[in-house]
Amino acid sequence: MRNAFFALLLLNVVYFAWAQWIDVAKAAPLNPAIARLPTLKLVEEVPPSQRLQPSISQVAPTLSTACLSIGPFPDVANSAHAAALLKAKGFEPKQRAEQTQSSEGYWVYVGALKTQADADHALVTLEHAGITDALVMPETSETERRISLGLYSEQARAERRAEAAHAAGFNAQVVERKVPNAVYWIDVAPGTNTVPIQDLFAQGVSSRIAVQPCPVAEPAGTAASAASSRGTRASRLSSARP
């Protein structure tokens, strides 16, 4: 029994000596590709004076849109109703009007008639082709002499009338007629509130409105030039009306 005890003790001593001085783990070979890379450290391991401070632009929250436009409203009464609803919900709505153009249909005409005799001959030819409602438009300083073949609310009907004129030998044109029109918008500063567009729909406001950023103000000279150009175009369209 005693011999067995001393044998086990000697075995343990030999194993301890082998583990401490003989079976030592070899160091991993150094990789030249990463030898020059800096050593990673936790933030707590770096002195406060050497820590990188985040820039304001990286941590600042994204600013919301400063102004939102709600619309367009077809008439001032609908716009005023929506403005009252928004004011009751804590907004400060500002109404504004915007000049735009709305479609009045599609006009079919035959142009390039140099003389009244050409126009009379064209009328007779069109009547023989079954187009009996054609009208000669007076010549002006800005428009040539034309024959109107009708004004249509649907483009497909206008195209069919133009095809009938083509079959009679005329190069009929189809143009969309636009007239000046005013629409209305409501500008609000949303801040931290969400524009309650669905609540406006529930209160009977037009479901065709939407929300978009407010337009950027144009310089005075540019705005005046654009207004003059729109007025000139509107005048030309009015003079060409059948």
User: In this structure, how many other beta carbons lie within 10 angstroms of the beta carbon of residue 161?
Assistant: 19
Tell me whether residue 63 is in a domain: no
Which of 113, 135, 114, 112 lies closest to 123, judged by CA? Answer: 135
Q: State the pLDDT at residue 57.
A: 31
List, for residues 135-149, the tens digit of each pLDDT value: 998 877 777 889 999
List, for residues 29-52, the tens digit of each pLDDT value: 555 555 555 565 655 666 666 655
Tell me whether residue 108 is in a domain: yes
List, for residues 192-239, the tens digit of each pLDDT value: 567 888 888 888 887 788 888 888 765 555 444 554 555 555 444 444
List, for residues 76-135, the tens digit of each pLDDT value: 999 999 999 999 988 899 999 988 888 889 999 998 888 889 989 999 999 999 999 999
**Position 156 pLDDT exceeds 90:** yes
List, for residues 173-198, the tens digit of each pLDDT value: 999 988 888 999 999 987 656 788 88
Cα distances from 103 to residues 68, 89, 110, 160, 223, in angstroms, run 27, 35, 21, 19, 23
Higher local confidence (pLDDT), 152 or 233: 152
Tell me whether residue 38 is in a domain: no
DSSP 37-71: SPPP--GGGS-GGGSPPPPHHHHSPPPPPS-EEEE
Tell me whether residue 40 is in a domain: no
Structure-block tokens of residue 173: 């044109």
The separation between the first and the last C-alpha atoms of the chain, rounded to the nearest angstrom, is 129
List, for residues 63-86, the tens digit of each pLDDT value: 346 788 999 998 899 999 999 999
How far is residue 39's CA from residue 21's CA, in Å, rounded to a whole number? 30
Structure-block tokens of residue 154: 């649907």
Structure-block tokens of residue 168: 């009679």
Helix (H) or strand (E) holding 25: none
Task: For residue 171, give its domain range.
Answer: 68-239
Angle CA 65–69–75, to nearest 5: 175
Q: What is the mean pLDDT of residues 149-166?
A: 93
**Position 11 pLDDT exceeds 90:** no
The domain total for the chain is: 1
Strands in 94-113's sheet, in edge-to-edge order, are: 135-137, 145-152, 94-113, 172-188, 68-73, 210-213
Higher local confidence (pLDDT), 60 or 101: 101
Tell me whether residue 5 is in a domain: no
Q: State the pLDDT at residue 131.
A: 92
Tell me whether residue 55 is in a domain: no
Q: State the pLDDT at residue 25.
A: 52
Q: What is the mean pLDDT of residues 14-31?
A: 60
Cα distances from 16 to residues 8, 19, 22, 27, 116, in angstroms, run 12, 5, 10, 21, 124
Structure-block tokens of residue 76: 């001032």
Tell me whether residue 232 is in a domain: yes
CATH number of the domain to which 145 belongs:
3.30.70.1070
How far is residue 177's CA from residue 233's CA, in Å, rounded to a whole number? 12
Q: State the pLDDT at residue 161.
A: 95
Tell me whether residue 202 is in a domain: yes
